Structure 1
Amino acid sequence: MIQYFKKYKSIYWGLAALLFVHCAAPKSSPEVSLKALPKTYINNTDSTNIAKINWKQYFTDPVLVSLIDTALVNNLDVLIAYQKINASRAQVKYAKGLSAPKVNAAVTVGGEKFGDHTMTGVGNFDTNLSQNITSDQKVPDGVVPEYYLGLQSSWEVDVWGKLRNKRKAATAHYLASVEGKNWVVTNLITEVATTYYELLALDSEIQIIDETIELQQDQLELVIVQKQAGRANELAVNQFQAQLLQSKILRLELSQKIVQSENHLNYLLGRYPQPIAIDTTSFTNDLPTQVQVGIPSQLLSNRPDIKKAELELKASKANVLSAKAAFYPAFSITATLGLNSFNSNYIFSPTSLAYNAFGGLVTPLINQSAIKAQFRTAKAEQVEAMYQYQKHILNGYVEVYNQMVYINNLSQIYDLKDQEVKVLTTSIETASELFLTGRATYLEVIVTRSATLQSKLQLIEIKKKQFTAVVNIYRALGGGWN
């Protein structure tokens, strides 16, 4: 064998050189410059960040905490996210397995009929004429049996890092799936809290409507008495009746909204519609006096969607390197070791021992369109991942910035609306007294009462928006998953 190689070594070296000449890979994709994050939010240099607070400490309402606990266990999106993690973990094990030698146990039984005018057929015929073999060593003239029992092994030596980078990409995808689950948890907590505060607001609005309906009913009865006494007319009675009916319609609309909000909350909790007991007194609780947002660079480590995008970027870079390595020669080793015979009586005989081992380099020379397309795809996906990473960072910063401004404006709006409610509430009493003495018309009473009702409902809506904004900025900063 060695002499044979020496005789034709120039041919072997020439073929090897040809392999390396044709395995030149194209250049990797250029890096996309990422925009730097601002150093502060509106000149805020304090690094204290509410995202570090556990959600059970951030939300103090025990009813809400219980609802979130149930959602984290039963929510279908969270359960799906966990299965994605399991699938990604399996892909990591699969990628690791590609780098290890493959060993298979094989048992084969078969037969083959050779043509009489072939090299194998003639060789078998000549062998049977030999005087040095016994009758049971002769090859059958018809179908030649084949028995094999042994091991078969193959191993691709990862010279260029193709398999190693596949393993890195799989690991990054797995870690990204974990961050994806964390982001699902963050959004779930936000949605449960938002829906809960919406229910509290609707319940508070129902209470105000009920109080209003009761007052309107009393006012209607008073106007009817005044009509009978000749101090009011039928038009006044009709106007008060219409206002009462409108309030009842509004109450029914709010009741429908409560049903829809309850069902949405039940959906988030992974269960079918059922009544939800809420603590309406918690809607009057004070909001946090100060929301501490820290500095923008903390978003990179706090927000799961940004960390997921970063890991997807790492995976795309590893995929590019793996695709690039496909242009280089693949070095593989194959070997077999077992028992091989055409006579079953000798299959377990030491003389049936058979083995081989081969090593070789293989690279595409002519048709490289498939691996070129795969490489271009990997490059495009890497650039896309870079832009996605930048997009998530920009979106996170904008969300925090918007919520900061919104919280500040809502505080001022609430104070002004609260003053308006107090003024209008006083005006109802004034209008009613003037109406009884004949110094105000029934229309003035109706308009004043209607304006007061709308103002009170708007005040509750602003309060709900304040709670929602506090929840949203917690999410925007990346809180809730830890």
Structure 2
Amino acid sequence: MIHYKSNKGSAKPLVIALSIVSLMQGCAIPTIQTKEVNQTLPEQYGASTSIGEVNINWEQWFDDPTLKELINIALTNNQEVATLLQRINIAANEVYAREGEYLPQLNAGIEVDTEKVGEFTRKGAVEEQLNIREDRAFPDPLANLALGLNASWELDVWNKLRNASKAASLDYFASIEYQKFFVTQLVAEVSEHYFELLAFDNKLRNIDKTLDIQRNVITTLNQLKTYGRTTSLPLIRFQAEVKRNESEKLLIQQHIIETENKLNLLLGRTPQHIERTPSQLMVPSLQIPAAGVPSDLLVNRPDIRQAELELKAAKLNIDVAKANFYPSFTLNAGVGLEAFDTRYLLDIPESLAYSLGGDIFLPLINRRAIKAEYKNASAEQIQAAYDYEYTVIRAVSEVSTSLSKLDKLTQNYELKRQQITALEQSIEVANRLFSSAHGEYLEVLLAQRETLEAQGELVEMRTQQFSALVELYRSLGGGWKV
């Protein structure tokens, strides 16, 4: 809807504009604080540093074909990834809207109204004294019809609107970085759950092997008991140990179901069995990629780039909030046709109506909301600076921890493997001694239990190695480069 005034032109005197600007100079703007970030980084991660050119790509980082297939399914089906894509679309639309705010607006419309004024009012008295064409009486009630164009334009003198648009653009790019960061976390979580599944599979296989050995021992004990060469005590003890391991087997099977369900949730699908090869966990050697230097994180880590973009946006928002203390300038214009009767609407130039005006507004009294917004922008900038510093420090710490953990676990894995070799030999010796009546059954039982525990610890250590490798992938940024 539009409405046109019949005046030929409208403009504010220059003296008024100058007076408002003078008043603006006398309006104090609150003093605020800002913070510059401290971006000092160490030259390397620590004593156990893997230096080299960083090539982070999950398809090369994880060479298990089954894991690659699961990650691809997760990236395609995961509902949270799809949700983040919509958040990016919302941020893009916000940029589009902000860009339009500092451009002129043009509206077209039609307005129809009718008016009946009192006879003893100013307008009524004027109508009484006037006649229109062909000596007709002034219409009562008086209709009005207008159609045309209206334009308005807020002059962005203080770059308020442009800075707001730039800040929205930075928020948009920050949302993209967050989506990349989330995808990195998703790849890492899928990998961790997958390696947990392989670990449970290997523990289950070790228990099955131990149960086979113990059942064979029970068969031997039954034969020895028949010939009176042993008592029922070792038989009962081994039967109890079998029940203990069968109970542990049930717990592991439950852990497998729970882990499969967690993994299927990340894959965006209902619970189902996941095909896998348990031997993939116990590969002969574990390849540890290069980690580069800490400064690489500023380029490779999406969360650092996100924090940096948010910090830049926070700085611009301070300028946007500060511009609210200054006067706003708006130009308004309209042109169209206006008449009280449709018969005269096209009678030009008589029905032609246009207007031109400008507004200058400056907040003078009760500026609490503006001051609060300005101070909030300051606090958000300081907060963004601290968030950026913390993100950088956390990134360096995570990489350093992962490298150190991989180094220590590699040494421990070799020691544990040597321990298991010795324990397996002790089982053979204990079995021979017991079969020849030169050893105690407790020695056999203890050797089997220690071997099973050591094998479980070896599987757990290998799982921790893969977990540290996944964490290194995550802490190095997941392969997202500018």
TM-score normalized by the length of structure 2: 0.93
Q: Which residue of 1 aligns with 2:24?
A: 20
Q: Which residues of 2 match residues 111-260 of structure 1 at below 5 A?
A: 111-128=114-131, 133-135=133-135, 138-141=137-140, 143-260=141-258
SS where residue 294 of structure 1 aligns? coil
CA distance in 2, matches of 1:44, 1:195: 27
CA distance in 2, matches of 1:9, 1:433: 112
Q: 1:433 to 1:230 in 2, by over 3 A?
A: same
CA distance in 2, matches of 1:22, 1:286: 77
Deviation at 1:332, TM superposition (A): 0.4
> 1:24–1:328: 8 Å Cα contact kept in structure 2?
no
Deviation at 1:215, TM superposition (A): 1.0
Deviations 1:205-237 (A, max 9, x none): 111111111111111121122222222222211
1:266 and 2:270 aligned: no
Deviation at 1:5, TM superposition (A): 9.0
Q: Which of 7, 31, 34 is the aligned partner of 2:35?
A: 31
> 1:209–1:247: 8 Å Cα contact kept in structure 2?
yes
Deviations 1:225-272 (A, max 9, x none): 222222222221111111001111111111111111111111111000
Percent identity over the alignment?
A: 38
Q: Unpaired runs of 5+ in structure 2?
A: 1-6
Deviation at 1:288, TM superposition (A): 4.2
> 1:25–1:325: 8 Å Cα contact kept in structure 2?
no
Amino acid at match of 2:185: N
SS where residue 134 of structure 1 aligns? helix
Deviations 1:438-462 (A, max 9, x none): 2222122111111110100110110
Q: 1:5 to 1:188 in 2, by over 3 A?
A: closer
Q: Which of 40, 61, 65 is the aligned partner of 1:62?
A: 65
CA distance in 2, matches of 1:288, 1:172: 40
CA distance in 1, matches of 2:231, 2:107: 101
Deviation at 1:284, TM superposition (A): 2.7
CA distance in 2, matches of 1:423, 1:86: 61
Deviation at 1:29, TM superposition (A): 2.8
Deviations 1:411-438 (A, max 9, x none): 1111111111111111111111111122
Tell me the C-alpha RMSD between the 2 structures: 2.2
Deviation at 1:374, TM superposition (A): 0.8
Q: Which residues of 2 match residues 451-470 of structure 1 at below 5 A?
A: 451-470=450-469
CA distance in 2, matches of 1:22, 1:342: 48
Deviation at 1:195, TM superposition (A): 1.1
Deviations 1:14-43 (A, max 9, x none): 633444235543345322442511121126
Q: Which residue of 2 aligns with 1:109?
A: 112
Amino acid at match of 1:67: L
After superposing the two structures, state which structure 1 stretch, 171-180 or 16-25, moved more: 16-25
After superposing the two structures, state which structure 1 stretch, 344-353 or 207-216, moved more: 344-353
Amino acid at match of 1:53: I
1:365 and 2:367 aligned: no
> 1:266–1:274: 8 Å Cα contact kept in structure 2?
yes
CA distance in 1, matches of 2:340, 2:19: 37
Deviation at 1:344, TM superposition (A): 2.1
Q: 1:56 to 1:420 in 2, by over 3 A?
A: same
Deviations 1:294-345 (A, max 9, x none): 1111111100001001111111111111000111000001111111111122
1:97 and 2:110 aligned: no
SS where residue 298 of structure 1 aligns? helix
SS where residue 95 of structure 2 aligns? helix
Deviations 1:189-217 (A, max 9, x none): 11111111111111111111111111111
Amino acid at match of 1:317: K
> 1:168–1:318: 8 Å Cα contact kept in structure 2?
yes
Deviation at 1:289, TM superposition (A): 4.1
Amino acid at match of 1:422: T
Q: What number of residue pairs does the alignment pair up?
A: 473
TM-score normalized by the length of structure 1: 0.93
Q: Which residue of 1 aligns with 2:4?
A: none
CA distance in 1, matches of 2:443, 2:284: 35
Q: Which of 2, 21, 46 is the aligned partner of 1:42?
A: 46
Deviations 1:356-402 (A, max 9, x none): 11112111111211111111111111111111111110110110011
Q: Which residues of 2 match residues 261-410 of structure 1 at below 5 A?
A: 261-350=259-348, 351-410=350-409
SS where residue 21 of structure 1 aligns? helix
Q: Unpaired runs of 5+ in structure 1?
A: none
Q: Which residue of 1 aligns with 2:3?
A: none
Q: Which residue of 2 aligns with 1:71?
A: 74
Amino acid at match of 2:83: I
> 1:23–1:363: 8 Å Cα contact kept in structure 2?
no
Amino acid at match of 1:345: R
CA distance in 2, matches of 1:44, 1:411: 12
